[in-house]
A and B are shown apart, each in its own frame.
Chain A
Amino acid sequence: MTVTHSAPEIATSQSGPPSPRAGRRTSVWSGLWPLAVGIALAAVLHFVLPRLIGQYYSRIVMDIGIAMIMAVSLNIVNGMTGQFSIGHAGFMTLGGYAAALLTYYGSLSIWGTSLRHGGFLGVGEWMFAVSCLVGGLVAAGAGYVVGLPSLRLRGDYLAIVTLGFGEILRVVLQQTGKVIDDAEALKAAKWSQFFPPPVGGAVGFDGVPKYTDLFWVYTFVTITVVVAYRLKHSSLGRAMISIREDEIASQAMGVNIARNKVLAFVLAAFFAGAAGGLFAHEAGVILSPKDAGFQRSFDYVIMTVLGGRGSITGVMLAAVILTALPEMLRDFEQYRLIMYALLLIIMMLVRPQGLFGIHEVWQLWPGRGPRTAKKKT
């Protein structure tokens, strides 16, 4: 869906030298319409899809959306800037905990219950949406801290730092206190009970209100994809990609490598944190410290590798495949990791650049790709 609505913009950035937009007046609307269209589509999905394919498959579509946010945001770090981060689930879990902390204790103190409050676009949902953004900001702060070593480390060494971040977070979350589970107890609670925050320790954060639905997931998918796409096709994004291509030449061209690397981490962590918020409020999910571990991170790394570094549509497709596949193969669940490993090996042999390489899906069509577009000035 996001592919189609960004297609008209491609005409300006990918076709031959004379831009069709050059003479046209640009307006504020041109900056906002993809978001509006995406959110409208999300609303359509929300109301139509469950009736068409039922609750179970709608749920899978929701998981796919969250995976898309994760993969597309990770791609800003791994694909565009060329860093190798394998701690993305850490940011997700941190954001998830932060968002859940807000909605859970917020609901409990305002409405006296941690259950869902209000209907579609009701007060509760807005509180949830804001919490997801706050979760994103918390994760972005962590992204800044984790991004700093990326200035000195690269490749495997940086990967180990990011891996370490996820593991440290997992252990820290295990040390947190018990969830305070009713309004009276919350009122009586002393300040000391909030340090460390009462988010359930090793058993996980149970009782988080269940707000996540197709509308909110795909609203966030829209925001993530639009941001990633615009970043990729802007001066800022080109600066990031140039770091991936050649750091020394990039510096010589005036690119502030330190700033761009950290910015990539912060941005990616923000969306991962927001995705964590969505994940934490999903029905049937109990957020637990092990979500911050490397296994989940690895799932997202595989998506970016499979999709192609820097290809937004590529990693979205990979997110669809790798989220749907385990559901299809439920009976063989224990072989999931073997399947992933095999898939990766096959990809390395057959298509080392990923499904789409550095291209987007529409560039693979004849006549649209950069190799074929040769208009004269």
Chain B
Amino acid sequence: MARPRSSNCEEEDLMSANPSFPNTGTPSAQVESGKPLLLVDQIGIAFGGLKAVQGFSLNLPAGALYGLIGPNGAGKTTVFNLLTGVYQPDSGEMRLESRSLMGLKPHRIAAAGIARTFQNIRLFPGLSVLDNVRLAGQLRSSHGLFATLLRTPAHQAEEESIRNQALELLALFDLQDRANEPADSLAYGHQRHLEIVRALATGPKVLLLDEPAAGMNSQEKVELAQSIRKIRDRFHVSILLIEHDMGLVMEICERIVVLDHGVIISEGTPAMIQNDPKVIAAYLGTASEAV
């Protein structure tokens, strides 16, 4: 849910896209016409008297790369928690490929095709890097308890293919050589990569990234931006990402949704967002508030 954070120095970047990013990918217009993959209509949730998110709507087409930004405590992570079923929305409707997601448990939503990463890394520390990723195999596993216990040939073949797929995915971030190490022995940046790989392993249609660049240096951020695009193109997933690094967001996102105090205050292309007075006010405060 929305939470306070101590440092928040990226705001100035909002006005000027970070020049350190090579301007390769451009927001593509043809995505706009794409069929909606994830359709969110007016969802909201209140915790007691606190209306954390209200009337949140989103139309995420197939293959899109959207950003979700907003000041601290705006409700961005709460939106992710609503989309993944951690919280049940009080109102509204969510559909993935016209299938309703309302009332589904988190594991059903994951099976339906929404995967996520977490703002605070939530790997399985005691499991190996490989096991973190191949855990996703149980989603697609067609064999039950008895096939597992008897280790039938079909079951063995399936485990083998799960393992190979996991290793292929790990190669995405060059982690395949560390497959047998415990996940918590990885460096911080690698742990963030592993979380993305792990989410991809569930075979998602929509990938939600919660601050993927947090704690990375500028070089790592550039690489991450390229990786995110690569993932989108190669796995044909739609990506929605929360990020505080405005340079990164403006650089890679086709459209951006701005959230403040649980409501959408602006939505549009990066250029539109950068010049929206409401967004600027939300981040920097209005003249009257500033005094």
**Residues in A lying within 8 Å of B, measured CB to CB:** 14, 16-17, 19, 21-22, 26-28, 30-32, 226-227, 230-231, 234-239, 241-242, 244-246, 248-257, 263, 267, 310, 358, 370-371, 373-374, 376-377
Contact = CB atoms under 8 A, between A and B. Distances in A.
Contact of B135 (A16, A21, A255, A373): A255
A30 B180 CA distance: 24
A371 B151 contact: no
A252 B177 contact: no
Interface string B115-152: 11010001111111001001111110100010011111
A14 B111 CA distance: 28
B153 A27 contact: yes
B150 A22 contact: no
Contacts of B148: 230-231, 234-237
Contacts of A27: 153
A227 B149 contact: yes
B153 A371 contact: no
A32 B150 contact: yes
A231 B151 CA distance: 10
B128 A370 contact: yes
The A contact surface, by secondary structure, is: helix
A31 B145 contact: no
A17 B156 CA distance: 16
Interface string B152-183: 11011101101110010001000011111110
B179 A17 contact: yes
A15 to B, nearest CB: 8
Contact of A374 (B116, B122, B145, B177): B177
B128 A234 contact: no
Contacts of B157: 26
10 contacts: A30-B156, A230-B148, A235-B138, A238-B138, A239-B135, A241-B127, A251-B85, A256-B105, A370-B180, A377-B177
The B contact surface, by secondary structure, is: helix
Given A31-B152, A252-B110, A377-B167, A241 B124 contact: yes
B151 A30 contact: yes
A245 B110 contact: no
B160 A242 contact: no
A235 B167 contact: no
A28 B153 contact: yes
Interface in B226-252: none
B112 to A, nearest CB: 9
A121 B29 CA distance: 77
B191 interface: no
Given A26-B157, A30-B153, A235-B141, A245 B125 contact: yes
Contact of B149 (A19, A22, A230, A376): A230
A251 B108 CA distance: 9
A198 to B, nearest CB: 35
B111 A254 contact: yes
Given A239-B138, A242-B135, A231 B180 contact: no
B3 interface: no
B162 to A, nearest CB: 7
A257 B107 contact: yes
Contact of B160 (A21, A226, A248, A310): A21
Nearest to B85: A251
B270 interface: no
Contact of A238 (B131, B167, B185): B131
Q: Which of A19, A27, A252, A267 has the most CB of B within 10 A?
A: A252
A335 B244 CA distance: 61
Nearest to A18: B167
Given A252-B115, A377-B177, A235 B134 contact: yes
B77 interface: no
